[in-house]
Every structure is written in structure tokens, then in C-alpha cells.
Chain A
Amino acid sequence: MSLHADLTATFTAEGAQSFRIDAEIEVERGESLVILGPSGSGKTLFLETVAGFHSHDGPVTLSGQRMDDTPPEKRDFGFVFQDYALFPHMTVRENVDFGSRYHDDTRDADALLTELGVGKLADRYPPTLSGGEQQRVALARALAVRPEVMLLDEPLAALDVPTRQSLRDDLADVLADATAVYVTHNRTTARALADRIAVMNDGQVVQSGTPEAVFHRPNSPMVARFTGSNVIDLEDAPSIRSVLDVPGDDVVALRPEAVGFGPEGDVRATVERVVREDATNRVTFAVDDVAIDAFADEAPAVGEEAWLTLSDDGAHVCRPPAASSV
């Protein structure tokens, strides 16, 4: 079951400028496509448009069948919302069973809830559940109708970190064989769940490809920055230009994992900031006029001098000089 959407849609909110979405995605059967983008990039509106909640131009096809004029209830999608959107006046079981009367082949609500670890909550009402529990119920509701395609709109965004991690693991299992479109602004989630990633900015898909391609070969400074790379304008960093095997004054994306440091190396740098991140430290170095991030298990002292080693493999030209004048 493959999904293809090539949409344009314009949204006008009262008192705001109209916002235009013009984006194309292709999802193969059994594939998880993650739409990754900053807040306000239009990814949620795009997903809702694919679902049929907003009118649009251009085709949405499911397994080659056009469904542009098909109402949402006939599109055979499951949808998980960021804020759960559980029906507050129905019990958990009634929520999961909601779609059963409209579909011939549905999954048993209690079995599904048990599978997702919330079997004991079946008789409770959603407002009495925690965020993580509500999202598991919402996931069960979407899975219950055995949808051809799962659409997920930042389902982890409103959850605390431990809950997010545990639900992310479960989502990875659920999405392993499913055809899914998953919207998020979180690159860690994207990398964990995606077979392919489409980066969205300002209503358009600016790059799509495997996680490896998007994270290591970003095609623009925006994608590079959003996927966590250092973005270095070589014009501002002559000492880096002399080390990397890159011609001219390109803008280069450099993965922080590809930056090493120690008493010896290629480029002289000063430790500017150290931020503890889970099991490691993100160390920001000042080199010439630019800042470069690296990871280190042991944090150096701020103000300390160090030598950086930069790996050519981790560097990628993300904007050729011709484009830099634009």
C-alpha cells in the first residue's frame, strides 16, 4: 500500500498572512516517512490535508487510487494527534472501539490496549489519564481500524522525557511493518523511527532521502542546522578551510561526531561552552569567527585551548559559493 501526495493548499487565518503549502511526498508500502521541520513549517497542516481535513489542489493517491475528493472517513487512514484528541465523554474502551462500526475488520480493543500496556485503563475516562497513557490509547484507537496508512502528528511532543522514550520504543515496534507518515520537529525521534526523512520548511519539502543522506549530506544550511550539523561558512573560518579538502568559500556542514579534540590536531580552538547532554557533553569551540560543536565524554574547562581534528568524511558542502551570493 503506497501513498503519494502532491498538494498545494492555502490557509488564511484571521489577522494573519495566508500560508501556502506546496509539497510532495511518496511513501512505499511498509515504509515510515518522517516529515521533519521546525515549528510553523506547515508539517501538521500538510498531514491534516493528506488526511482530508482541509481542501487542497493536486492528487492524493493510495495504491494508485485517487482520493482527492474522498472524505476523511473513506480514506482508510489512522491518525494520532499531538494532544491525543481522545473523546472525553467516552471510556477508554469506547474510544478504541469508536471506529469498529465503520470497518469490517477491526482489532479487539482490550487486546490492543493490553498490548500497549494500558489494558487496565479500559473503563476509565481519558481526562483521568496521564499524557503517556492517553497517547497509548490514541495509538490503540488508530490501530484498531487496521488502517492502510498511519498518520502521526508529533505524538511524543507533549510528553515528558522518560515517557517519550518508552513510547518511542513502542512506536518503533508498531511502525516497523506499517506504512506511516510521522511528523516531528525532533531529530532524535526522526532518526529513530524513519526509513526516509522529508525535511519541510515554509510549506515545502526542501530535502528528502534516507536518514543517513539527510543527516550527513544536507542540501542547505537550514537542513544542516536542523539535523544538528555545524554550519561553517569557510569565508569566516580560514583555518578550517585549510584543513578540509573543500575548494573555495563554500558553506560546509560538519557533523559534531566528526569533530575530535585534544592536545594535538589540525585547528586551534578555544572552549566556549559545555552543555551536559544525557551520557555525553556538547562542547562548543570558537574557531576564527565561527562556533563548532563536538561531543566529548569528558568535559574540558571553558576557556581552555585545544586542537581540533576534523574528518573529511563528516563534512559536506551544503551550499556552493554561487548560491551564497543570493
Chain B
Amino acid sequence: MATSTETRFSLDGVGRVSLAVAFVAIQGLAFVGAYAVGRPTWYAFFMIGSTAVTAYFLRGDTFVVAAATMGSILMVALGLPLFMFVARQQPSIVVEKALSSDVHRMLYLGVYGPLLAAIVSLAFGVPLAHLFSEGFTGQQLVESLVDLPLVVPHSVAGILILFGFGKGGAFPNVTVLGSMIGMVLAMTFVSAPYAVNATREAFESIDDRLEYASRIHGASRWDTFRRVTAPLAIRGMVTGGVLAWARAVSEFGAVAVVAYSVSFFYPPAGGEVTTQHAPVFVYGTYLQGGLAESGAVAFILLGVSALVFLFIRYLTSDSTTTGGVV
């Protein structure tokens, strides 16, 4: 059995990286070639076939080849639209949109609003996640409530928020309909479960004995959390925050219902401006300007999201969070 799980060609770390780079480069060239001759379908088959062949040469195990082939079909479904989307952009429209102040405002709100939602999700989700990791009576009920937004259609979530906090709701003095508060609330509603669950997993992976060791040598519960638990769970918290942020960026349904367009302070303008949350803005552009225009806006949004994501991944990589030891 052992032989079947070993690589047929032994590869060190550098070899693996260069192989991966070569694989991606070949995929890119193949796509460009297929697209240039107007036959993107060929590329789909090439991707599946090349994955199978690579798996065969690396492992030579029919099970691995079958698994890689099946997986590559899913990759075609996920990746091909993305490649086609990028390839079919019209540069002139992308540049025009990239220079539009409406798009700048949308991007600002699209990063800033979700950031507020992620902060709120973490601020109140981390304590809850810690309680979950320790366990308490009735925990399953609370867990179900936290996970509810994962199964509720998001337009329904928006309706729930309007019933709870809108006109005639629990806080009559707070306006949620069409306000920044409403938008952040809608985003928090759908993104908090990600923050709570990721953080909770981080807490659960910490050995109880580390907290015992902290307590017995003098640290109170607060100090134990501050000096031991939180530093060890920081990556989980950041992951939870990033997931919550990303979920909030992509939120359409709840935001469209609660706060279709919002006014907020926009520093470059030095005052209040009104715009829509990014997915709502893209949808609005699609309805008014068609596929080409909305595609260009979506392209810019995608690029900004990817940059923010990569930046946060860099900040939370092993070497930057724990001195490279855990």
C-alpha cells in the first residue's frame, strides 16, 4: 500500500513550487490559445485531460487519477466562467468605469461597510465563540440561532431585520431602512456566523492545559484570555473576520431589502454622498447599462476584493502572527 501513496517522481519543496507554476502557466497559455482561435470549449477538455495526465505521472494511482479528474470537472465549472469573464472584458469600458467617481464611492462603501460589519461580528462574536468552546447549558439552541442566517434566504433575512429593528420594531429611535446602520446590521446578520464559527474552532483547538497552566501560575481569567488564549486564537479570529468581511462584501439580498442605497461620509468628497453597496450597484448597472457595463464594474470589484484578500492573507501568514513558531 505504501508505494501507491508515494510520488512516482520525488519532488522537494522547490520542485513542487516550480511544477505548480509550470502547470498554471501551461493552463494559462492553453486558455489564451483556445480563446484566440475562438474555441474555449477545447480548453475545458484540455483542463480535464491535463489534470488527469499530471495526476497519472505524479502518482500513477488510478484512485488519485479518478479523484483528480472528477475534481477538475468542478474546477472547469468554477474557473472557466472566471477566465471567460476576464478575457471578455472590454478595456475601454473597464478604464472608463475605473475612472468614474460613482464607482470609487461604490468601492469605498463596498470595503468600508463590510469592514464595520466584520468588526461588529468579531467584537460580539468572539466572546460568544469562547463561551461555545467552553460549553454551557442550552448551547445547542444558541448555536442554532447563530447559524440561522446560513440557511435563511437573505432577502428573508432583510425582511426579518426590518420587522425587528425597522419602523415599529424594538428600537423606535433607530432608523434602519436606507441607513448605514441598517446596512451594517444586514451585513452583520449574514456574516456573524462565519466570525463566530471560525473563532470558536480556534478556541477549541487550544489545549485546556495551557489555560490551566496560566491560571495556576497566577493569571486571572481575564489575564489568561489576554496573554494565552487570545494570542493563540488570533489566526482564527482574523480568519473569522476575513470570512465575515468577504461574506458582507458579497451580500445582496439582505442589503437590497434593508438599505438599497445609503448616505455616508466620503472623505474624498469631504461630505455625505449616496451610493449603493457593491453587489446592489452591479445589479443596478446591469439593469440600466447591460452586461458589458456591469461586467466592467464587477471586474474592478473582483480585483479590489482579491487584493484586500491577499493583503489580509499576508498579514495572517504564519511568520507574521506568532513569530513563526506555531
Contact = CB atoms under 8 A, between A and B. Distances in A.
Contacts of B209: 81, 83, 85
Interface stretch (B31-39, B150-158, B212-220, B236-244): B212-220
A102 B222 CA distance: 13
Contacts of B207: 83, 85
Given A73-B220, A83-B207, A102-B219, A53 B212 contact: yes
A99 B210 CA distance: 13
Nearest to B220: A73
A73 B219 CA distance: 6
B214 A98 contact: yes
Contacts of A151: 216
Interface stretch (B6-14, B49-57, B100-108, B318-326): B318-326
Interface in B210-254: 210, 212-221, 223, 227-228, 231-232
Contact of A87 (B220, B221, B228): B228
A72 B322 contact: no
A128 B325 CA distance: 8
Contacts of B323: 89, 125
A87 B216 contact: no
B303 to A, nearest CB: 35
A215 interface: no
A71 to B, nearest CB: 7
Nearest to A48: B212
B212 A72 contact: yes
Contacts of A141: 213, 217
Given A83-B207, A89-B325, A127-B325, A51 B212 contact: yes
A102 B212 contact: no
Contact of A85 (B213, B219, B220, B322): B213
Contact of A88 (B217, B221, B223, B232): B232
A138 B323 CA distance: 21
A56 interface: no
A53 B326 contact: no
Nearest to B206: A88
| Interface size range of chain A in the complex | 20 to 34
A151 B209 CA distance: 14
A91 to B, nearest CB: 9
A205 interface: no
Interface string A147-184: 00001000000000000000000000000000000000
Contacts of A88: 232, 322, 325-326
A103 B216 CA distance: 12
A78 B218 CA distance: 9
A285 interface: no
A139 interface: no
Contact of B216 (A51, A125, A144): A51
Given A81-B212, A85-B209, A85-B210, A102 B325 contact: no
B326 to A, nearest CB: 5
B220 A71 contact: yes
B326 A78 contact: no
Contacts of B228: 87
A103 B213 contact: no
A79 B325 contact: no
A53 B216 CA distance: 9
A142 interface: yes
Contacts of A254: none
Interface string A47-75: 01001110000000000000000011101
Residue among B212, B213, B323 with max Cβ neighbours from chain A (10 Å): B213
A46 interface: no
B238 to A, nearest CB: 15
B281 to A, nearest CB: 42
A102 to B, nearest CB: 3
B213 A71 contact: no
Given A79-B212, A85-B209, A125-B325, A102 B231 contact: no
A77 interface: yes
Most buried by A among B207, B216, B232: B216
A74 to B, nearest CB: 9
Contacts of B223: 102
Nearest to A74: B218
Of the candidates A71, A78, A88, A101, the one having the most CB atoms from chain B within 10 angstroms of its own CB is A88
A119 B309 CA distance: 43
Interface centre among B218, B223, B227, B231, by most chain A C-beta atoms within 10 angstroms, is B218
Nearest to B232: A89
B217 A98 contact: yes
A145 interface: yes
A87 B210 contact: yes
Interface string B192-217: 00000000000000010110111111
Which of B209, B219, B322 has the most chain A CB atoms inside 10 A of its CB?
Answer: B209
Given A73-B220, A125-B323, A125-B325, A87 B215 contact: no
Chain A CB within 10 Å, residue with most, of B215, B217, B223, B232: B217
Contact of A73 (B216, B227, B325): B216
Interface in A107-143: 125-128, 138, 141-142
Nearest to A96: B217
Nearest to B321: A89
Contacts of B213: 79, 81, 85-87, 138, 141
24 contacts: A48-B212, A51-B212, A51-B216, A53-B215, A71-B215, A71-B221, A73-B217, A73-B218, A73-B219, A73-B220, A78-B217, A79-B216, A79-B217, A83-B209, A87-B210, A88-B325, A89-B323, A98-B217, A99-B217, A102-B217, A125-B325, A127-B326, A128-B325, A144-B217
Q: Sorted from nearest, which 7 A-B pairs have the closest CB atoms?
A: A102-B218, A99-B217, A125-B325, A85-B209, A72-B215, A99-B218, A85-B213
Interface of B: 207, 209-210, 212-221, 223, 227-228, 231-232, 322-323, 325-326
